[in-house]
Amino acid sequence: MSVDEQGAPLLSVRGLTKRFGGLVAVKDIGFDIRAGEILGLIGPNGSGKSTVMKLIMGIERPNAGSVKVDGVEIVGWLPYRIARSGVGIVFQYSRPLHWQTVLEHIKLALLPDSLFKLAADPHVNTRTRDIAERVGFAKVMHRHPATLPFADLRRMEMAKAITRDPRVVLVDEPFAGLTAAESEAFSELIRGFRAEGRAVLLVDRNVKSLAALADRVLTMYLGEYVADGTAEDVMRNETVRRVYLGGKISRRANARPKASATSRS
């Protein structure tokens, strides 16, 4: 199915801008992600890509711009409300409660407002086990986080992110710290999100690691838009190549063209 046939975007970002004092961390960034589509947001360290993800999730508040989920403006909402609206986030680093098992972590994410009812509702236990198995935790769901390797901690963050069946999933640095085999297993989970019709935003520094997954790639540098398109197109872009080879780019070089990621289908 082509992007045009998929209809209106599930996630629509326009003119997103964030300043920290005199530093402009994100400047006029925009893009759309539709159901069943993966967008890779890439750039070297300090390019502002993780800040974009935090702005979408309400962890940071933008100075300007719009973020809509299924047509509803969510700028100014608190993160818990954004999560309820259908956005899940997979953080790069896990900060688990070490006295809780993997299964209990997933259960807590399922019912963040009903902690005293966790043991009372049988369907919660069933749903929790289904999610654990979905991310490959069938054999370790009763273990504690301190006994798990890093890759399984990432899986736990993935499980927590999908507890509320989000329509939009944000994933920060999906392959950082993973072996090739672990990266492929993680990739299969992300492909599953696309197959289920979710809109997925992958935030990473390396376009090559996302090339096999992302339908489109948008590149940032020093908070600004550089280029967008397929992974192959982006890697052929002269400005992108200069950025990744350590060169500098001018404001004129990375000016957004009239037909950009904010308006393309």
The predicted-structure confidence for 105-141, as pLDDT tens digits, reads as follows 888 777 655 445 545 566 777 888 888 888 888 778 8
> Which pLDDT band holds residue 242 (cuts at 50, 70, 90)?
confident
CATH number for the segment(s) 1-86+167-265: 3.40.50.300
DSSP secondary-structure letter at 117?
A: G
Would you list the domain boundaries of the chain? 1-86+167-265, 99-165
CB 135 within 8 A of CB 154: no
- Residue pLDDT, tens place only, 167-180: 999 999 888 878 78
How confident is the model at residue 69, as a pLDDT? 96
How far apart (Å, rounded) are the C-alpha atoms in residues 80 and 83? 5
The b-or-e profile of 208-239 (16+ CB within 10 A means b, else e) is ebbeebbbbbbbbbbbbbbbbbebeebbeeeb
**Which segment of 79-93, 197-211, 218-232, 234-248 scores lowest on mean pLDDT?**
234-248
> Assign residue 249 a region: left if phi > 0, alpha if psi is -120 to 50, beta otherwise?
beta
Q: In angstroms, what CA-CA distances link 115 with 89, 133, 178?
A: 21, 22, 33
Q: Are the CB atoms for 233 and 243 separated by under 8 Å?
A: no
pTM of the model: 0.81
Q: How many CB atoms are closer than 10 A to CB 24?
A: 16
Q: Which amino acid is at 47?
A: S
pLDDT tens, residue by residue, 53-77: 999 999 999 999 999 999 999 999 9
d(CA 162, CA 122): 19
| One-letter identity of residue 9 | P
Both tokens of residue 124? 């919660």
Angle between helices 102-110 and 150-161 (to 10 degrees): 20
Mean pLDDT of 146-150: 82
Name which of 6-20, 85-99, 106-120, 144-158 the model is least confident about: 106-120
Find all residues with CB under 8 Å of 68, minimum gap 6, and list them.
9, 11, 12, 13, 74
Distance (Å) of CA 198 to CA 10, 195, 243: 8, 7, 31
Query: Residue 1 pLDDT > 60, yes or no?
Result: no
